[in-house]
Amino acid sequence: MLSLILGLLLVGSGCGRTIGEDESVGGASSGPGGSGGGGGSKPCGDGVCSAGESCTSCAPDCGACAGCGDGTCGNGETCGSCPIDCGSCSTCGNGTCDGGENCGSCVEDCGKCSSCGDGTCDAGKETCSSCPTDCGLCTKCGNQQCDNGETCSSCPGDCGVCNLCGDGFCKAPEDCLSCAPDCGACEACGNGVCNPKSENCSTCPADCGKCVGCGDGLCNNNETCASCKQDCGVCSVCPNGKCEDFETCSICPQDCGACMPKSCLEVVGCALQCIDIQSNPPVFSVTCVANCVSQGCSDVQFFVDQVLNCVVVHLPECAGGGGGGLNCFQDKCQAEFAACIGANCNQ
């Protein structure tokens, strides 16, 4: 009977993690920001080339001037009208949409243009610099240098993440390309194919492989928890409305929901799932075991300790393909399992 109960617990137990609804917080995109010179009462970025706007003052609405994108900053081009050739303006990134900046030249300060994110790269208005979600990553993104036209929004792997990226909330102008730590990986990431238009080792290491330097134990060279978990850890912030990697009901009930009290056998079943007894030597997660044990009352935790201590003692003889596994542990630890069954939190 005991064997049947434990078997059912091992199948049904989820290590005590009560997963909350995984939803993005603050993911709504803001409207295009302010200035750009000569836009009249309508802001630059509304999709209409109004009177007073031109390719030099409002490229997002009127299109890029002739020559913009040829790699040379000339012919009246400026950081405001053609950042892809002239680079970002010196004020871009200060949190204010200054004169000369607009949604096309400084997404960080002015927000995304209204059409950015519609899946179509509008010729002459959107570029890889201003809207990588529609136009794809710039060709030089991923060369470990922050080149002209690249910013923390369009190429965080080269230019570093923007100031607010990493606070746990996906807020405009952040998206899956500019801030994977907050917004998560883009939808196509994880399909096993590295799409050079939208993925590289920084935006999708799952498909494109780890960037050079990832795995050296140092979180540097613009590495983030999204691009290099080995060095930077997991992207988990409590509370932010998402039950993320390694967050559980015991350490972050705000995101993952309150833990339901567990019986001794339920806690033991959860903890045994944290141990891979088929490997040699056995491998187990201390974090997983600790989370399971934390979900029992003090009395339950005491008897769980007795069972797990006995299991650890007999790991060498019970683990492995021919060791007998659960049945072996039950035989060796009969007294401890019996006491666990009798544990009562209501005494």
22 within some domain: no
132 within some domain: no
Lowest-confidence region among 18-27, 208-217, 252-261, 308-317:
18-27
Place 322 in a pLDDT band, splitting at 50, 70 and 90. Answer: low
- Is 245 exposed, middle or buried (CB count within 10 Å of its CB: 0-12, 13-18, 19+)? exposed
307 within some domain: yes
218 within some domain: no
292 within some domain: yes
pLDDT at 34: 45
Taking the CA atoms of residue 58, residue 64, residue 70 and residue 76 in that order, the dihedral angle to the nearest 10 degrees is -50
- Is 21 exposed, middle or buried (CB count within 10 Å of its CB: 0-12, 13-18, 19+)? exposed
**3-state secondary structure (DSSP) of residue 17:** coil
How confident is the model over 335-342, as a mean pLDDT?
94
Q: Is residue 142's pLDDT more than 50? A: yes
pLDDT at 324: 75
Q: What type of residue sits at position 147? A: D
pLDDT above 70 covers a percentage of the chain that reads 87
How confident is the model over 14-39, as a mean pLDDT?
39
Domain that holds residue 333: 2-16+259-341
Q: Which regions of the chain does DSSP assign to beta strands (E)?
A: 275-276, 283-284
What is the C-alpha to C-alpha distance for residues 249 and 257, in angstroms, rounded to an integer? 5
pLDDT tens digit sequence for 231-247:
999 999 999 999 998 89
pLDDT at 250: 85
Q: Is residue 282's pLDDT more than 60? A: yes
333 within some domain: yes
148 within some domain: no
pLDDT tens digit sequence for 90-137:
888 888 998 888 888 888 888 888 888 888 998 888 888 889 989 999
212 within some domain: no
The pTM of the whole model exceeds 0.75? no
- Sorted by sequence, the CB contacts under 8 Å of residue 224 that are 6+ apart come out as 156, 161, 165, 166, 180, 181, 202, 232, 235
pLDDT tens digit sequence for 147-175:
888 889 999 999 999 988 999 999 988 99
pLDDT at 45: 80
Lowest-confidence region among 25-34, 49-58, 160-169:
25-34
The domain total for the chain is: 1
What is the C-alpha to C-alpha distance for residues 251 and 256, in angstroms, rounded to an integer? 9
